Structure 1
Amino acid sequence: MAKLVFLGRLEDLAGAAEREVSDGPLTAVLAALEPELAEALVADRIRLALNGVLLVDRSGIVLAPSDELAFLPPVSGG
């Protein structure tokens, strides 16, 4: 099993900070989530980090057992 990690407002939307998911292509993983959550996770402003490494290219992501994919929303501040 792989793990999705939700930060900031995405945690509220997901209902938890983390969720275990089946391994496989990210497109399939997202398709198994609630539509509202999946839509928020693919927004252009959301950054992804796989096993602690910030990703530049989102295409072709395939989650393997024990992978951790974090979704990082934009940071706001004042």
Structure 2
Amino acid sequence: MSVRVLFLGSLRDSADAPEADYPAPLDWQGLLAAVPAAVAEQLREPHVHVACAGKVLSDKTDLAAQDGDEVALLPPVSGG
């Protein structure tokens, strides 16, 4: 039983991997404890968003990922 976490954009660089699997269920505190410290630090920033099962959470601390869910960590978009 696991949750797949996708590290997108700059979070991928901080994680040194594009994705990782963590034990399910996975809540906000569990996510912060599971990911690398550099990623956890960035996740605490208000401009970083979290999507679970294809839906962006309005409050990322409400994360409640279950077995088989995919969680995407979304850094701010930049461009020009």
Count, aligned residues: 78
What amino acid is aligned across from residue 22 of structure 2 in structure 1?
V
Q: Which residue of 2 aligns with 1:31?
A: 33
Letter in 2 for 1:26: W
Answer yes or no: is 1:77 the counterpart of 2:79. yes
CA distance in 2, matches of 1:25, 1:76: 28
Segments of 5+ residues of structure 1 without an aligned counterpart are none
List 4+ stretches of structure 1 deviating above 6 A: none
Identity of aligned residues (%): 36
TM-score (norm 1): 0.87
Once the two structures are superposed, the pairs formed by residues 1-78 of structure 1 within 5 Å of their partners are: 1-23=2-24, 24-78=26-80
Q: 1 or 2, which has the higher helix percentage? A: 2
What's the RMSD between the two structures over aligned residues?
Answer: 1.3
User: TM-score w.r.t. structure 2 length?
Assistant: 0.85
C-alpha separation between the residues in 2 aligned to 1:11 and 1:33? 11
Q: State the 1:33 CA deviation.
A: 2.7
